[in-house]
Amino acid sequence: MISVHLLTPFPDMVNAIINESILKIAEKKEMVKYTVHNLFSYADPPHHRIDDYPFGGGSGMIMKPEPLSRAIEESTKDVNPGDRVRVIFPTPDGKVLSHATSEELSKADRLIFINGHYKGIDQRIRDRYVTDEISIGDYVLTGGELPTMVILDTVIRLIPGVLNTYESAETDSFANELLDFAHYTRPEEFDGMIVPEILLSGHHQKIATWRLDNQLEKTKKNRPDLFKKYLEPKEESE
């Protein structure tokens, strides 16, 4: 079971998502346990401030180190020796999220997500605790909750047994270097548009060939960078 800790000043934002769909199903199957930490509960009384002005001047506020440190320490107090613990900070200046990263995180024993706000968090928290700084794209959001939920969703669905068929996750876009092929379901004809005949043939080899061709065509058109990578010679494993 993966233990997931979510550090946030807005618990309702993350609770609304982890209590629905696949994330909730994973918890019901006892494959994941979620713990949401309200950062205001870890701030100093009487004002319980979690942010302050930046040293050196400048606009915006910075999340204070004390509440974050206390919340992280609380999230790791029952870690067992040998447990694989990852502390994740979603940030635009991190490494761009990839399927490979999600696969790696899905093998952890404990995931701790720091949901930043304002201009960011004190650098000392990043230096001491953070193991993974991850970006979900070249843009900025008002807080870390949505990026956290994106990352978490990509991770949880890769845990064997969470989805009804793990094969579904294995064939998604980015599971390899090609985008996913086109999918069709009933009815065979919709508004004059017909399902490709090959998919109705029952010939599994021909269907597999059609799907690969479709992947190649889509990847070349939509993601030429991935298509180029796919064509590059693969190094033989020693």
What single letter denotes the amino acid at residue 185?
A: T
**8 A C-beta contact, residue 1 and residue 27:** no
CA dist., res. 174 & res. 155, Å (int):
13
Low-confidence ranges of the chain (pLDDT < 50): 237-238
Which residues, at least 6 apart from 126, have a Cβ–Cβ distance to it below 8 Å? 89, 133
Which CATH code is given to the segment(s) 2-156? 3.40.1280.10
Q: What is the pLDDT of residue 233?
A: 84
171-231 fold: Trp Operon Repressor; Chain A (1.10.1270)
Which residues, at least 6 apart from 166, have a Cβ–Cβ distance to it below 8 Å? 160
Domain chopping of the chain, boundaries? 2-156, 171-231
Q: What is the pLDDT of residue 237?
A: 46
H or E element, residue 75: helix 65-76
The single residue listed with the structure tokens 């058109």 is 221
Q: What is the pLDDT of residue 157?
A: 95
Q: What is the pLDDT of residue 238?
A: 43
Q: What is the pLDDT of residue 176?
A: 72
CA dist., res. 194 & res. 70, Å (int):
59
Q: What is the pLDDT of residue 177?
A: 79
What single letter denotes the amino acid at residue 46?
A: P
